[in-house]
Amino acid sequence: MPNASDRAAELREQLHHHNFLYYVEAMPVITDRDFDKLLKELQAIEIAQPELLTADSPTQRVGGQPIEGFKQVTHRLPMLSIENSYDAADLTKFDADVRKAAGKDEAIEYAVELKIDGVSLSLSYEAGKLAVGATRGRGDLGDDITHNVKTIPTVPMALKSASPPALFEVRGEVYMMRAELVRLNAALAAEGEEPYKNTRNLTAGSLKQLDPRECAKRKLSFCAYGVGAIDGVTVTSQSQLFDTLRGFGFVVNPFTKVCTGLDEVLAFVIEWNEKRKTLPYDTDGLVVKVNDFAIRQRMGATSKVPRWARAYKFEAEQGISKLGAVEFSVGKFGELTPVAQFDPPVELAGTTVGRASMHNASWVEKFDVRLGDTVVVEKAGEIIPQVVSVVLEARTGREVPLVWPTVCPACGAAVEKQETAISYGWFCSDTGRCPAQLTRRVIGFARRERMDIEGLGEEVAKQLVDAGLVKTLPDLYRLTREQLLGLEGFAATKAKNLLAGIEASKTRGLAKLLPALSIHSLGGSMADIFVEDFPTLDAVLAATKEQMASVKGFGPKRADSIFEFFHCEAGEKLVADLRELGLKLTHDKKAKPAGGLVLAGKTVVVTGTLQKYGRLEIETRVKDLGGKTSGSVSKKTDYLLAGDDAGSKLAKARELGVRVLTEDEFERLAAGESLL
């Protein structure tokens, strides 16, 4: 009879083999029950003799103890992004560049693979054992998420090799099947909770869990497509790399093809533009890579992207349906927003869409939207569904004009039409007591770019308001542990973390606090400008309307809104509460940028994922340089700052002749360098 050490080693080998057969080969040879028996036997040995537990043990996939926080990992080779293309003309130019670099006119081989819509991941194997799993982060530096990576069944704990290389870094995509999103949302719906929006966001959130047991519940998948630093193995082409990855035990997407020449690539693109809808996971394009690594070496890379690869992005998918009914949601200022319900629902980007926003009252009036209309529905970025137009030619005369409600759907108060300088549409009249308005204000107050209160999302905000614990924003700072523990879903740790997040928010300062208070016409960008002239709340309260109006970009209407907010009974009570609760009511002025206000009077649109900045950080950087940011590209746009996975905004900028900046060019511009 083998001793415990030998038996543990034998069980680990068997379990790794059966995991490989089940998740990679899809050819299991034992039942789930028999697999569980082997796993429990190994667990029993490791519990009895902890010294026999190894880092790559299959028992570690179920999730260990929570970690305190994320360490950062420096990638041995940067995780570069891939430049996007949107039509055959883009790929034709790419092909010409490749053939020029290769020094030959004949067709080049391209490895073409599906671009799975997930989260990039780097896996480092040392002497064949999984050592570190890390996010891409900013490209050169990512977060160590090894504790969560181990819970993904398709990530090998050890390379399937008798003589593994000394170092093998694998790059790939973590993603979630749509069926898993449906399962998780069904469970949330049963508890009355809001569903998750899409698989990509849920995947990213799962990987950022501090408790690996939570990540293990999400049933993520991993697909390998590339390598970083390697030592002890040689590959000379993408097709050979795929064979190597499969041999080591990784899942490689089966829908890959080595195409000879551009014509085959374009035919593959056309084929998968339709076939992708049949897949059980989300994709947003195809990746076209030069197959020969020697040619890749000659082409090289920029600081951000390899020159030997392109991502072909599918166009935003549209669908047509009938406007069957309309519901109305209530915003933080009491504004009613119409939400369309489709009859029948439409299939977009692999999901069934039954409802979508119709923007606002102005949009409804512009298109004269009527019940029974035929409407065009689109998923912006294949994520957020919205109605983009009405097919007027399809009207039969039986359509019914949209009727706005006379009472608030959330609180029953009267609905009033407002036509002022700062608001237009239908509004709930009970601003002080409407729970829907208060909930939206609490959500806005806690947002990352405002007071950044960890753990205070939409569902928690609704709980606090519905329970009567929060009737005004300052009530957040009066919450107690006992009150939170009385709410469903709140245990000691969750209550402690929320209270800590609320306490930490007291130090955010005036530039964050002002836009968090839901003052009409005072968003984050305008607040940043405002506090430079009025750096304390006392200065704000002492200012006249005329002084406020003289701030650059403000004017009388915005000044009236701010002045009236603070100089009314509710505003005075709010100020007193903020003082009593100890919030920071001052602003620390920033030093002037070294390159000067080089973006003064300029409008910048940011699209895609940047390597050095988060979205809030880059918007702040633009403001510090004197510019302003916008969410859409127009003839008035001065610059488009394009990061990775730039979408339709990049195409629109090119069409309008807007100057497109890389991140490096933006940094040079910020430093005062000429881009001519």
Interatomic CA distance for residues 176 and 152, integer angstroms: 11
Sign of CA pseudo-dihedral 516, 522, 525, 528 = negative
Work out the end-to-end distance of the chain between its first and last CA atoms, rounded to an integer number of angstroms. 78
Alpha helix segments (H runs only) across 208-261: 212-216, 238-247
Which of the residue ranges 196-210, 587-601, 628-642 would you say has the lowest mean pLDDT?
587-601
Mean pLDDT of 238-252: 95
Give me the domains of the chain, ranges plus CATH numbers.
Answer: 4-62 (1.10.287.610), 84-313 (3.30.470.30), 318-401 (2.40.50.140), 435-507 (1.10.150.20), 510-581 (1.10.150.20), 603-670 (3.40.50.10190)
397-430, pLDDT tens digit by residue? 899 999 999 999 999 999 999 887 666 889 999 9
Q: Is the pLDDT of residue 438 over 70?
A: yes
**How, if at all, do strands 603-607 and 639-642 pair?**
parallel
List the catalytic residues: 115
**How, if at all, do strands 659-661 and 639-642 pair?**
parallel
Interatomic CA distance for residues 640 and 607, integer angstroms: 7
Residue 252 near residue 295 (C-beta atoms within 8 A): no
3-61, pLDDT tens digit by residue? 888 888 888 888 777 776 655 555 667 776 777 678 778 878 878 888 878 766 777 65
Q: What are phi and psi of 330, to 5 degrees?
A: -115, 125
Which of the residue ranges 46-50, 157-161, 213-217, 360-364 would you say has the lowest mean pLDDT?
46-50
* Residue 485 CB coordination number (10 Å): 12
257-307, pLDDT tens digit by residue? 999 999 999 999 989 987 887 888 888 889 999 999 999 999 998 877 899
pLDDT band, residue 443 (cuts 50/70/90):
very high
61-76, pLDDT tens digit by residue? 554 555 566 788 899 9
Tell me the two tokens of residue 287: 């990746």
Sign of CA pseudo-dihedral 641, 642, 646, 650 = positive
List, as one string, the DSSP characters of 63-132: --PPPSSPPEEE-SS------EE-SHHHHHHHHHHHHHHHT--SPPEEEEEEEESSEEEEEEEETTEEEE
Interatomic CA distance for residues 67 and 195, integer angstroms: 27
Q: Is 114 exposed, middle or buried (0-12, 13-18, 19+ CB in 10 A)?
A: buried
